[in-house]
């Protein structure tokens, strides 16, 4: 394997390192990679049962047999449709303003070391609304997010004189969040290990490029020792990132499913962080490709060394044969 191809695993290792670090530090401050969360809670409809729903009688007008009656019926149906649309818009506006009146944020997100909160922009009911972050907690390994505690505090200091006990978070949702909290420390450790070994493999790749020599067959490339060292480092990095990505994917999807199953009644929904899940799997993928490179480099290096020994062996035996023949001729002449 040619020496310059070592650049390939070097690039892959630095890419794996960067992606693992992004996974760790996403959401470390407001607006920093907020889309890359493990899970996000939509609270824009929380407390919707406090808003009275307008009631109306039957919207079906009494039909008549004459043409004027048909015309009147058509006009009434049109007006009823327009009124219904306006009421729907009013309800959407109420849903958008509800969290503001309660004093809570419209969304809360959970990252590896932090939790963030904010409002949807331009508003909660606009398709494609984005996350406008207002606050993030300080970073901590094994961070634990307590939604009930956060809501109780924000509602108690909010503009409405409400008792937080009147808006309880269902126990099933609290259990789902605690389920997520239980894996945050493990995810943190795994990505730290993955990032650490990815960084070491990058440095080892530089060493392999600098120390690479020429084999007995005349081919240049990394030595078998350097290939082995790099294969071990990239293998450990990819293993840690694989486990971390698998745990993150399973936990985020299961947690979101539990919250959505039990939260619809109180206006709470959740979605797993697709972008975060993607970069965790990409970080594993690039390190796995680097492993394949170093394994191939080690196999090819061993094959080249074996071929070199086989080519050298006939020469040694031939030299010894000529040496014995020369000695025999000398003895005969004497």
pLDDT number for residue 302: 54
pTM above 0.85, yes or no: no
In terms of DSSP bridges, do strands 213-214 and 220-221 run parallel, antiparallel, or are they unpaired?
Answer: antiparallel
Residue 319 pLDDT exceeds 50: no
Q: Determine the pLDDT at residue 87.
A: 39
pLDDT of residue 96: 58
Average pLDDT, the chain: 78
60: pLDDT confidence band, cut at 50, 70 and 90? very low
Region 286-298: mean pLDDT is: 93
Backbone angles phi, psi at 117, to 5 degrees: -145, 165
Residues of the chain with pLDDT > 90, as a percent, come to: 46
Q: SS3 of 116, please?
A: strand
Tokens of 181: 């909290």
Q: 48 Cβ partners below 8 Å, 6+ apart?
A: 95, 98, 267
Instruction: With beta carbons less than 8 A apart as the criterion, state whether 226 and 204 touch.
Output: yes
pLDDT digits (tens, 9 = 90+) for 173-198: 999 999 999 999 999 999 999 999 99
- pLDDT score, position 66: 53
Among 1-15, 86-100, 127-141, 148-162, the range scoring the smallest mean pLDDT is: 86-100
* pLDDT recorded at residue 56: 43
- DSSP conformational letter for 328: H
**Pair 262, 176: CB distance under 8 Å:** yes
Q: CA–CA separation, 220 vs 331, rounded Å? A: 47
pLDDT for residue 306: 45
Q: Give me the residue label for tokens 């995810």.
A: 187
pLDDT band at 123 (very low <50, low <70, confident <90, very high): confident
pLDDT digits (tens, 9 = 90+) for 189-224: 999 999 999 999 999 999 888 876 544 444 555 678
Candidate ranges 190-194, 267-271, 318-322; pick with highest mean pLDDT: 190-194
The predicted structure's pLDDT at residue 331: 52
């Amino acid at each position: 394997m040619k020496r310059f191809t070592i650049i390939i695993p070097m690039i892959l290792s630095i890419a794996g390192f960067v992606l693992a670090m992004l996974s760790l530090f996403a959401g470390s401050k407001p607006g920093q990679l907020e889309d890359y969360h493990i899970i996000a809670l939509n609270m824009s409809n929380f407390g919707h049962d406090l808003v009275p729903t307008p009631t109306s009688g039957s919207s079906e007008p009494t039909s008549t047999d004459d043409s004027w009656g048909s015309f009147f019926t058509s006009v009434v149906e049109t007006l009823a449709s327009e009124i219904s649309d306006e009421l729907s818009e009013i309800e959407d506006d109420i849903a958008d303003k509800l969290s503001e009146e309660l004093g809570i944020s419209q969304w809360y997100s959970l990252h590896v070391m932090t939790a963030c909160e904010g409002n949807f922009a331009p508003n909660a009911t606009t398709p494609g609304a984005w996350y406008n972050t207002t606050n993030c907690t300080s970073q901590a390994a094994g961070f634990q997010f307590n939604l009930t505690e956060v809501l109780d505090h924000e509602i108690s200091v909010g503009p409405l004189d409400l008792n937080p006990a009147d808006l309880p978070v269902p126990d099933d949702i609290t259990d789902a969040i605690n389920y997520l909290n239980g894996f945050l420390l493990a995810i943190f450790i795994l990505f730290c290990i993955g990032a650490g070994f990815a960084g070491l493999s990058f440095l080892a790749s530089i060493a392999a490029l600098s120390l690479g020599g020429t084999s007995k067959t005349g081919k240049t490339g990394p030595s078998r020792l350097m290939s082995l060292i790099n294969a071990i480092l990239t293998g450990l990095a990819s293993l840690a990132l694989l486990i971390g990505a698998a745990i993150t994917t399973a936990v985020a999807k299961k947690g979101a499913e539990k919250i959505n199953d039990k939260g619809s009644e109180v206006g709470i929904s959740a979605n797993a962080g697709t972008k975060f899940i993607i970069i965790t799997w990409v970080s594993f993928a690039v390190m796995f490709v680097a492993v394949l490179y170093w394994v191939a480099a080690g196999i090819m290096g061993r094959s080249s060394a074996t071929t070199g020994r086989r080519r050298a062996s006939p020469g040694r035996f031939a030299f010894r044969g000529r040496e014995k023949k020369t000695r025999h001729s000398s003895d005969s002449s004497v």
